[in-house]
Amino acid sequence: MADQQKSDLDLVADGPLESVGEQALNETSSGDPSLHPSVESLLERFPDEVQRYQIAAGDQWVVWVGPDRIHEVLTWLKDDEAQAYDMMSDVTGVDYGGGRPVEVVYQMFSTIHGRALRIRCPIPLESMETDSVYDLWKSADWLEREVYDLFGITFNGHPDLRRILMPDDYAEGHPLRKDFPLRGRFSRAEQTRLALTQDVERFYSTEDLKAGEPQEVDTDELSAVPENASDDLSGSDLDDGEGL
Amino acid sequence: MASKTVEFQVGQGSEMGVGGGGALSPLAPFDIDEPELGTEQMLINIGPQHPATHGVLRLVCELDGETVTSVTPHIGYLHSSFEKLGEYRTWNQIVPLTDRMDYLAPLIYNCAYVMSVEKLMGIDVTERCKVVRVILMELDRIFGHLLWLGTTAIDVGAFTPFLYSFQQREKIYSLHEALTGARITTSATRVGGMMADLPEGWLGQLGEFLDNFPKTLAEVHHLLTGNQIHIGRTQGIGAISADDAINYGFTGPNLRAAGVPYDVRKDRPYYDYETYDFEVPVGQHGDCYDRYLCRMEEMEQSVSLIRQAMSRLPGGPINVEDPGITLPSKTDAMSDMESMIHHFKLITDGIPAPAGDCYMPIEASKGELGMYVVAEEGDTKPVRWRVRPPSFVNLSVIPKLAEGHLVSDLIMINASLDIVLGEIDR
C-alpha cells in the first residue's frame, strides 16, 4: 500500500508517527529481581505500584512505576538507607507514538552503595502530568523544565516550570512529541512573519528581566494565525514592513 | 579507591605587595558611622553576546550595589534540535551530530555515543578499538581542560596562560586533523569501531605532544597557582558543600572539587579503566580555586593514562568483523559481489537494533556524559536519543553559587564551571 510507505520527505513534513492510535504495550517482566537489592525491595514494599521490571542492555535494571504514587516511591528510594539514591543523573522523556503513553525516565545512582537504577513512569496521554521531584533532588530543576518544554508534561510542585530551550512565546507545541513535524507546525512564511514581527524590546524590558515567573503568553492568539497564513511570502505583510 | 586530595598550598594575603607577596594594609582604620544611603535593587543583563559568558548564555542579575542577590540564566540561543534530528537518522548518521555538541572535546562525544549504541546492540568492540578510544578520550579531556584554563585565566586578567594553552591546543588540533581529516568536527567513530585505524606516524606525533605538554603545564602552574591575584579572585568564591553538590547534580571536576570522589571511570568503569593506574583529584572547599587545582591535576593524570594506553596498544583489527555492522573496505565493495551487497544494505537500511534502552554514562571533560538510546525491535533509527549533557546540570547551579557574591565573582564562577553552550542547548 502506498499509504503505509511514507517517503522521508513526508516524514519530515508530518512527523514520524501519529500520537493517537492503539498499539499494544509490551508488559512482560524479565530478569531475576533478587539480583538487584533495590528492585527486590521495591517489589516487596510497593507491589501494586511496580508495573514490571526488565534488564536492559545486559546489566541495566529498569523498573516501570505508575504515575499515581511515583513521588512516594522515589522519596523512599532516596531516603531509605538501604537504597540511598542520592544522585539524580537524568530526568527525560520518551514518546513512542502510536497512542502509547509518554514515559518519564529517571536515571538514578547511589554514590553510597555504587548502584544504578532506572525508573520509567508511563504518563497517559489524557492527563500528561506528574509530580515534580525537585523537592528531593535539586538537579531535577532544569531537567524537568526541559521535559516540560519538549514533551509537554506538567510537573506539579515545580517552583519555576517554564520553557527552557525553546523561547517563552513558542506557540508550535512540544518538539519531541512524535506527531511534531521536523520543520515545525507553522509554515515557513508564518515562522518568518513571527520572527520579523517579534518585539525585541520585550526581552530587555524590566518586566522580562525580572524573569523567573512564567511568561503570560496568549498562545491562542498566536496559534490561530497560521490558519490564514499562506506559504507565499509576498502574500504576507512582510513587504510592507518599515524595515524592508 | 585511589583518590588524591588537592590542597591549598598557599593562602590569601590580606593585601598584595610588590611581587605578589603580602604587605601591610595601606589604609589606616577610621572610626565614623556609616552614612545611611538609600539603595534599591538594580537589574542588569549580561549576554547573550558577551565574551565573559563563554558562549551564548544570558544571565539576568538582580544587584544590591555590587552584590548579586539573584541570577536567572536564560539558555536555548544555540538550540539546534539535535535529539529530534537524530530520530530521522540511522545509527551511524548520528555520529556527526555528536561532535557539534561539545566542540571543545568532540572525540569524547563521538566515543560516548557509539559506546551506548554498541551496548544496546550487544556489540563487543575489539581490544585495539577500546585502547584507541581511551587514548582519544583522554587526549580530548586535556583538549577541553586547556580551553577552560585559557579562557578562565583571561577572565581573572591573566593573559599569558591563554596563549600557552592555545598553543598546546593547536598541537591537539593537528593530531585531530591527522587522525580524522577535521580539526573540530571529527566524527571519528562508527558503530563497531572507528572510521579508520590510526594513521602511520600518529603515535609518534602524540608522543611528541606528551613530551612537551607537561612543561607548558608546569609553567602555567608557576604563573597561576601561587599568584595572589588569582588566589584572591578564586579562593572562597562560589563554594558548595559536598552534599549540596551531589543534590544539585554536579558532576566531573566541579563535584570532585567539593570533596566527593565520584568519577565515572572509577565508580562505573568502562573500557578497562579499572586496570589503569591513575588517581582522581579531590578538592576540599568546593570553590573556584579547588576546581582549578582539580582540573590541573586531571590533565597530568590524563597524560599518564595516555602513556599507559599507548604502551598496551594491541595489534589486530580495529573494527568488529561482522559484515552486518562494519562496512567492507572500498576495494572489496568495488570488486566482490557479496561485499557490495553488504555495503549497500548497511548504507540504505542501517544496522537493526534490538528492543530496549541503554543509558551509558562516561566521564567527559565536563562531568558525567550520559547517552541514552531507546529502540524498538529492528529499528535502524532511534526512537529516542537523549544526551545528558554535564554542563546543562552544572550550569543550573549557578543561581545558588553566585548569590551574595560580587558581579566580578559571578564571572569567575561562571568560568570555573567550564560550560559549553553547544551541549547545553543541543
Spell out the per-residue pLDDT of chain B, length 426, in tens: 566 776 666 655 545 544 454 544 445 556 777 777 767 788 888 878 888 888 888 888 888 888 888 888 989 888 998 999 999 989 999 999 998 998 999 999 999 999 999 999 989 999 999 999 999 999 999 999 999 999 999 988 888 999 999 999 999 999 999 999 999 999 999 998 898 889 999 999 999 999 999 999 999 988 888 888 888 888 888 889 999 999 998 999 999 999 898 999 988 899 989 899 998 999 888 889 999 999 999 999 999 999 999 999 998 899 988 888 888 888 888 898 988 998 898 888 889 888 889 999 999 999 999 999 999 888 888 999 999 999 999 999 999 998 888 888 899 999 999 899 989 988
Indicate the pairing of strand A87-94 with strand B384-388.
unpaired
* CA dist., res. B154 & res. B151, Å (int): 5
Handedness of CA B371, B375, B378, B379 (dihedral sign): negative
pLDDT at position B134 is 93
Which chain A residues have a beta carbon less than 8 Å from that of B247? 86, 137-139
Handedness of CA B201, B202, B207, B209 (dihedral sign): positive
Chain A residue nearest residue B60, CA to CA: A209
Which chain B residues have a beta carbon less than 8 Å from that of A53? none
CA neighbours closer than 13 Å in the CB half-sphere of residue A204: 9
What DSSP line would sit under chain A, residue for residue? -TTT---HHHHHHH-SS-SSS---------S-GGGSHHHHHHHHH-TTTEEEEEEETTTEEEEEE-STTHHHHHHHHHHSTTT---EEEEEEEE---TTPPEEEEEEEEETTTTEEEEEEEEE-TTT-EEE--TTT-TTHHHHHHHHHHHH--EEET-TT---SSS-TT--S--TTSTTS-TT-SS-HHHHHHHHHT--GGGGGSHHHHTBTBPP---HHHHHHGGGT--S-GGGTTTTTSTT-
pLDDT at position A48 is 83
Handedness of CA A120, A121, A123, A128 (dihedral sign): negative
- Mapped onto helix, strand or coil, the DSSP state of residue B103 is coil
Contact B357 A210 (CB under 8 A): no
User: Nearest CB to B79: which of A56, A92, A166?
Assistant: A166
Chain A residue nearest residue B382, CA to CA: A96
Q: Which of B69, B72, B83, B247 to mutate to test the interface with A (most CBs of A within 10 A)?
A: B247
C-alpha distance from B287 to closest chain A C-alpha (Å): 19
A243: pLDDT confidence band, cut at 50, 70 and 90?
A: very low
CATH code of the region B88-320+389-425: 1.10.645.10
* CA dist., res. B222 & res. A31, Å (int): 56
ipTM comes to 0.85
Is the pTM value of this prediction over 0.95?
no
C-alpha dist (Å) from residue A5 to A1, A9, B86, B89: 7, 12, 20, 17
Q: Which of B241, B359, B403, B421 to mutate to test the interface with A (most CBs of A within 10 A)?
A: B359
Let me know: does B344 contact B362? Beta carbons within 8 Å. no
pLDDT at position A226 is 44
Contact B355 A114 (CB under 8 A): no
Residue extents of the structural domains in chain A? 29-165, 186-244
Closest CA to B136 of B80, B186, B68, B102: B186
What cell numbers appear for B316 in the block?
A: 589486530
User: Nearest CB to A92: which of B120, B356, B386?
Assistant: B386
Q: What is the pLDDT of residues A106-133, one digit of tens each?
A: 999 998 888 899 999 999 888 888 999 9
Which chain A residues have a beta carbon less than 8 Å from that of B70? 212
Chain A residue nearest residue B392, CA to CA: A142
User: Nearest CB to A211: which of B72, B87, B267?
Assistant: B72
Q: Which CATH class is domain A29-165?
A: alpha beta
C-alpha distance from A127 to closest chain B C-alpha (Å): 22
C-alpha dist (Å) from residue A213 to B62, B74, B101, B139, B400: 14, 13, 29, 43, 17
A6-27 mean pLDDT = 57
**Paired strand residues for B73:** B59
The number of angstroms, rounded, from the C-alpha of B95 to the middle of its chain's C-alpha atoms is: 18
User: Nearest CB to B88: which of A12, A89, A142?
Assistant: A12
C-alpha distance from A223 to closest chain B C-alpha (Å): 21
Q: Which of B42, B268, B357, B376 to mutate to test the interface with A (most CBs of A within 10 A)?
A: B357
Chain B residue nearest residue A55, CA to CA: B356
